[in-house]
Structure 1
C-alpha cells in the first residue's frame, strides 16, 4: 500500500506538472472526440464511406469510451489512479497509430473502438487524481483549470483537425497523438503521486456490471445508428436486449458486494440532477459539434480549416472564463451558472440556423459567440458540483459516472438525430438535404439545452454551495 504522502499544492513544481499531465492527457482524449468531425467529409471521400459508417467513426470511439469509462474509474480506485492513467495513455498511443494507417472504413472504425478503450481508462483518472492528490483548498481551482482546458480541447479539435486535413491529410489527426501521449506519460511518471481507495483494494471486481453497461449502450447505439438498414424484428430484438441489459445493470449494482457504481451516490439530489443535466446538455453539444462542420463544408462550401475555425470562439471563452465561472460557482453556488449556461447555449444554437448556403463568418459568428459564453458558464461548475457531491474515496467512480453520462448522451444523440431529421446514406453530400436536416437538428438541440437548464434550476434548488467531501488517502 505504501505510506501516506503530503497532498500537492498548485503553486509547487510537482503540483503544476501533475495538473499539466492530467489536463493534457484528458484533453487529448477529449480532442479525439471532436477533432475527427471536421475530417469526416475527407475520410468519407477517400475511404468511400457511407454516412452510417462515418457515424460509426465517431460512435465507435464514443461507444467504447461511454461504456467502459465506469470500468476505468473503478479500476483506478482499486489498482491505483496513476497506474491506470498511465496504462490508458499507452493504450491510446498505440490505437492512435493504428487509426492513422487504416485502409478501409471497417478498419478505421475498429481502431477507433480500441482508441476509445484507452480513453475510457485514462479519462476518469485525470479528475480522480486532482480530487485525491491535491489539497482541499486547491481542488476547486485545479478542477476549474482542468475543465477549462479540457473544454478548450473539445472546442479546438475542429480547428486542429481542419489545419491538419488541409495541410497533411486526415491521417495526421491520429498521428499527432503519438508524441503528445509520450509527453503525458513522461510528466506523469515524474511528478504524479499514486492514490487509491484503500477500502476497495483487494476486493473482487464487478465484471457482470461492466459487461451489462457495454451491452446496454452498445445495443442501443447500434439500433439507433443502423435502424434504417435493419429489419423491424431485428431492431426490436436489439432494443429489447439493450433495455434488459440496462435494467439488469441496476439490479446487479444494487446487490453486488463490490459494485461498479455505488447507487447510493444517486441518493444525493445534487449528484443526480447534475448528471441528468449532463446527459441532455452533452447530447446536444455532441450533435452541434458533429453537424455544424459538415453543414459549413457541404452547404456553404467552406474548407476544412475554415469550418474548423468555428471552434475558436469556444476556445477563447473557455480559456478566459472557465476559472471565473468556477469562482462564481464557489461564491453563489452552482444553481445559477448551471441553469443559465445551457439556456444561453440554446440561444446560440438557434442563431446558428442561418448557417446555410452563402453563409459567411459574419453569418455564424453571433451564434458561435453566444454558444461559447453559455458553455464557459456551465462546464467548470458542473464538474466541481459532481465531484463535490461524492465522497473523496469514490472520486474515480464519480468522475467515471459523469464522464459516462456525458459520453452516452453525446453518443446516443449523434446516433439518433441524423436519421430523426432525415439524413441517411449519402445525404451529407447533398447541400439541400444537409441544410434541411441541419436546421431541424439545431432546433432539437436548442430544446435539449433548455431542458438541461430547467433540470439544473429545480434539481439544485436549496443547495447554495457544494458540500465538503470526505478526506482521501494518497499513497506512495
Structure 2
C-alpha cells in the first residue's frame, strides 16, 4: 500500500481537479437554462475556478511547506468536495459562481501539493515511473472530461458533473491519510500573504472589468473602475514583491529573457487554445441542436489528439530544444484556430474538426515541454517558484482568455443583432429568440462571433510562439528532477 498508495491518492485528486475544468464546458447550455444565467454568469462559472487557482497556487504551496503538505492536500480535497456539493445544489448563478470560486481554493491546495508529495516519496526510477503515470492520468482527465460531462448532463443532469466528485473525494482523503507520509519544505520559508492578496485583487478586478465591459461597454463606469483597481493592485503587487524578504515571485526573474518568454507562452497557451471552447460548446448545442454527449465528442478531436501527440512526442522528440516544441506548438495552435474561423450560417460541426485536430497537435507539443522549459530558466533552488509561476500564468491566461474572447464574440454579434439579442444568443438563449429573429440571422451572428474570437486567439498564439522562439535561446532543455511544487501535468487545459 505504501509503495504506490501515494501515487494513487495524488492521481485521484488530480484527476478530479482537472476533470472539473473540461467537464463543465459542455454543460454550460443546460446550466444557463436551469439557472436563467446570462453570458457573464457562464463566464464566471469558468473563470471563478481558474482565478482562484491562479491567485492561490504559489501562496498555498508556501503554506504547505510550513504546515505540512499532506495536511494541506487533505484540507484541499475536503474543501473541493464541499464546494462541489454546493455547486450541484445551486439554485441560481450567484451561488454556483461562489461555489466554483471555493472549488478553486480547494483545487489550488491540491494542485500545489501534488508533485511535492510525489517527490518526497519516490526517488530514482520509481520517481520517473510515478511521474509518467501522473502525466498519463492528467492527460486522460482532459481527454475524457467533455465526454463524461456530456454523458452526465444528458443522463442524470448537469448537477452530477459536480456530485460525481464526492465519492472520489472520500476515496482520495481515506487513501491520503492511510498511505501518504507527511512532509514539509525547508525551514525558514514565509508565506507572502500581501503578495497573494495583491495578485488576487489584480486578477479578479481585471477579469471583472473585461467581462463587465463586454456586457455594458468599455466606457461604462463600473468597467473603468474595475480596470483602474486592477492597475493599482498590479502596482501594489510589484511594490510588495520588491520589498518582501520572501516574495511570491522574485521580480529579478523578469530580467531573464528565457523566463519571460516561457511565461508569455504559458499565458497565451491556455488563453488561446481553450478560451474559445465554452462559446463553441454553446454554438454546437444551442444553434446546431446537438446534445451534450455529441457536443463533448466534438472536442475529443482536440483533447484526444493532444494526448496522443504528447505521449508520442515524449519519445520521438526527446532532446529537441523546448523553444522548438513550445514555440512551434503555439504557432500550430494559432494555425488551428485560424482553420476554425471558417463558419457561416450553413456550417455543421464538421467544419471545426480540421482546426481542432491541428490545435490538438500544437497542444500536445506544448504541454509536455513547457514545464521543463520553465524549470530550465532558473537554478534548482528556484524550481518551485518557476513551476508555480508557470501554472499561475496559465490559469490567469485561461481566465482572461474566456473574458476577452467573450467580449469579442458579443461585439461581433452586435454587427448583426440588437445588443439585447446578441447577449441572449451568446448566453445560450437561441431558443427564446427563435420566432423573433430569423434562424439564418442567428446562425450568421454566432458564426461571425466565433470566427472573430478564433482569429484573435490564433493571432495571440502565433505571436506568443514567435516570442518563445526568439527569447528562449537555450540549445536544449536539461532534464530537471521535477521537485517544483506546481509543475503542471501532461495535456491539461489548466
The bucket for the TM-score relative to the shorter chain is 0.7 to 0.9
CA shift, 1:471, in A, is 8.3
1:9 alignment partner in structure 2 = none
Correspondence 1:214-253 to 2 at 5 A: 214-227=200-213, 228-229=215-216, 232-253=220-241
From 184, 191, 194, the equivalent of 1:208 is 194
Residue 285 and residue 144 in structure 1: after superposition, are their counterparts in 2 closer, same or farther (change >3 A)? farther
1:419 is aligned to 2:417: no
1:458 is aligned to 2:487: no
Separation in 2 of the partners of 1:141 and 1:270? Answer: 29
CA shift, 1:254, in A, is 1.6
More divergent stretch after superposition (132-141 vs 101-110): 132-141
1:177-235 deviation line (CA, Å, top 9, x unaligned): 1112222223333443433321335x4x3221111011111111110111233763333
Correspondence 1:242-321 to 2 at 5 A: 242-321=230-309
1:168 alignment partner in structure 2 = 156
Normalising by structure 2, what TM-score?
0.85
Query: Which SS does the other structure have where 1:442 is aligned?
Result: helix
Residue 396 and residue 180 in structure 1: after superposition, are their counterparts in 2 closer, same or farther (change >3 A)? farther
CA shift, 1:244, in A, is 1.3
Separation in 2 of the partners of 1:341 and 1:371? Answer: 8
2:89 alignment partner in structure 1 = 101
Normalising by structure 1, what TM-score?
0.88
CA shift, 1:174, in A, is 0.4
From 52, 55, 67, the equivalent of 1:64 is 52
Q: Which runs of 5+ in 2 are unaligned?
A: 414-421, 431-441, 486-494
C-alpha RMSD of the superposition = 2.7
Correspondence 1:357-436 to 2 at 5 A: 357=345, 359-360=347-348, 362-392=350-380, 394-421=382-409, 422=411, 425-428=423-426, 429=430, 430-436=442-448
Separation in 2 of the partners of 1:250 and 1:355? Answer: 43
Q: Which runs of 5+ in 1 are unaligned?
A: 1-12
2:339 alignment partner in structure 1 = 351
Separation in 2 of the partners of 1:267 and 1:191? Answer: 42
CA shift, 1:50, in A, is 1.1
Residue 458 and residue 152 in structure 1: after superposition, are their counterparts in 2 closer, same or farther (change >3 A)? farther
Contact 1:342 1:378 in 2 (8 A): yes
Query: Which SS does the other structure have where 2:275 is aligned?
Result: helix
Contact 1:151 1:379 in 2 (8 A): no
1:332 is aligned to 2:320: yes
Contact 1:334 1:385 in 2 (8 A): yes
Aligned positions, number? 459
Contact 2:388 2:484 in 1 (8 A): no
2:175 alignment partner in structure 1 = 187
Contact 1:73 1:397 in 2 (8 A): no
Contact 1:299 1:357 in 2 (8 A): no
CA shift, 1:96, in A, is 0.3
Correspondence 1:37-76 to 2 at 5 A: 37-76=25-64
Contact 1:389 1:466 in 2 (8 A): no
1:437 is aligned to 2:449: yes
Contact 1:47 1:103 in 2 (8 A): yes
